[in-house]
Amino acid sequence: MFTWWIDADRTAKKSLVAASLGWMLDSFDVMLYALVLLAVRNDLGIDNSTAGALASYTLVASAAGGLMFGVLADKWGRTRALMLSVLIYSVFTAACGFAQTVGQLAVFRICLGIGMGGEWASGAALVSETWSERDRGKALGFMQSSWAIGYALAAIVSWLVQDVMGLSWRAVFFVGILPALYALWVRRNVEEPAMWKAEKAKPSRISLGTAMGGPMLRITLAVTLMNACTMFAWWGLNSWIPSYLRASPDTGGIGLSNAAMNWFIVVMQIGMWFGYVTFGYVSDAVGRRKTYVGYLVAAAVVVMVYAYTTTPWVLLVLGPVVAFVGTGYFSGFGAVTAELYPTAVRATAQGITYNVGRVASAAAPWLVGSVAQTNGYPAALSITAGAYLLAAGFWVLIPETKGRLVE
């Protein structure tokens, strides 16, 4: 099962470890907000709509960061861009703990989002260019799976800091500075991919317009819109699941304690991790398109069931299933875009298709929060099921990319 890892060279292994740790720590820092949201709302006096808007600001900023860092990764190198993005999101996660007003928190979340968006574009290009086409899907699946680990760690830290140590939500954010230490390890241990070095040495390089426009424009638009729908669904769902589980039944929630909610989230991440990893293996075996569509249609069905379930033990069982099919498809996006666009503009193209989609998805936390406030959580969460189905529909326009890497 793991012969692909055993047979890989040291450069490929270090690149995968670096990108995975960066993505894990990205998840850890970003998802702390969702886990302490109820406490933040009570302390700063904000409603669901404003809380959702703050999450949306972070996503818009992450889109800008992804676009910017995609260009930087193509120009300066994958590892340098990776280090800078980690430093930015670490510093501003800690800064969130000092926020005294909604405006201050918004500024810190926007700056955090810039670093968050930059990490994926840099890391996905790094892994794509150091692993063979035979194992690229599995490698990117393991990289993506580290998001689940980071989310679970965030839930555990939230529980330890607030419930065990009795500290406030501010202390939870202060822990977010720790990923900055990881950037030092990257600088000392991870080299730039040979493929990127060779491309930089060429006297002339393909332009971004040539790579993404012309005959490729229709595909580029379809990939971007597909990703926008998947990200809308993911952020709309995951930004509000913790609050849904914590909110009292008379407000449409489940009424779990803070400790119980955090452990529900940890259990969900088990399913999420397996979803990410399994996607890589399946897509390497049967192709990107079939695997993507299968996950997305299953996610639409399961999320609808989850949204209208109010029994805690059933939600505990369903949680990992929702996370498995409702997030695992992200493992395929790095492979699909790497296999569509050439080395010279790969990180930029990945940054554009991923982060323009993220801009469109930024409305999700605000919209779901607003609907939850007026029509209840079940109606709000079910919106995401429709987004999953719409995403599956865009695959009519996207070709199968398995087995290719454009040079």
The token duo for 149 is 């680990």
Residue 57 lies in a domain: yes
pTM above 0.85, yes or no: no
**pLDDT tens profile 210-262:** 666 677 888 888 999 999 999 899 888 888 888 888 888 877 778 888 888 88
Q: pLDDT-based confidence at 107, cuts 50/70/90?
A: very high
Residue 161 lies in a domain: yes
Contact 370, 52 (CB under 8 A): yes
Sort residue 9 into left (φ over 0), alpha (ψ -120 to 50) or beta.
Answer: beta
Residue 406 lies in a domain: no
Residue 48 lies in a domain: yes
Is 333 exposed, middle or buried (CB count within 10 Å of its CB: 0-12, 13-18, 19+)? buried
DSSP string, 108-169: HHHHHHHHHHHHHHHHHHHHHTTS-TTTHHHHHHHHHHHHHHHHHHHHHHHHIIIIIS---H
The whole-angstrom distance between residue 73's C-alpha and the CA centroid of its chain comes to: 19
pLDDT at site 50: 84
pLDDT at site 196: 72
pLDDT at site 201: 62
- pLDDT over 70 percentage in the chain: 94
Residue 402 lies in a domain: no
Average pLDDT, integer, range 329-337? 82
Residue 245 lies in a domain: yes
Would you mind telling me the total number of residues written for the chain in this entry?
407
**What's the domain count of the chain?**
1
**Domain enclosing residue 250, as ranges:** 12-188+200-396
Instruction: Give the CATH number for residue 121.
Output: 1.20.1250.20
Residue 4 lies in a domain: no
Is 205 exposed, middle or buried (CB count within 10 Å of its CB: 0-12, 13-18, 19+)? middle
Greatest mean pLDDT among 36-40, 70-74, 323-327, 347-351 lies in 323-327
pLDDT at site 389: 94
Distance (Å, whole) CA 336 – CA 357: 15
Q: pLDDT-based confidence at 128, cuts 50/70/90?
A: confident
- Amino acid, res. 340: L
The token duo for 57 is 């600001």
Residue 392 lies in a domain: yes
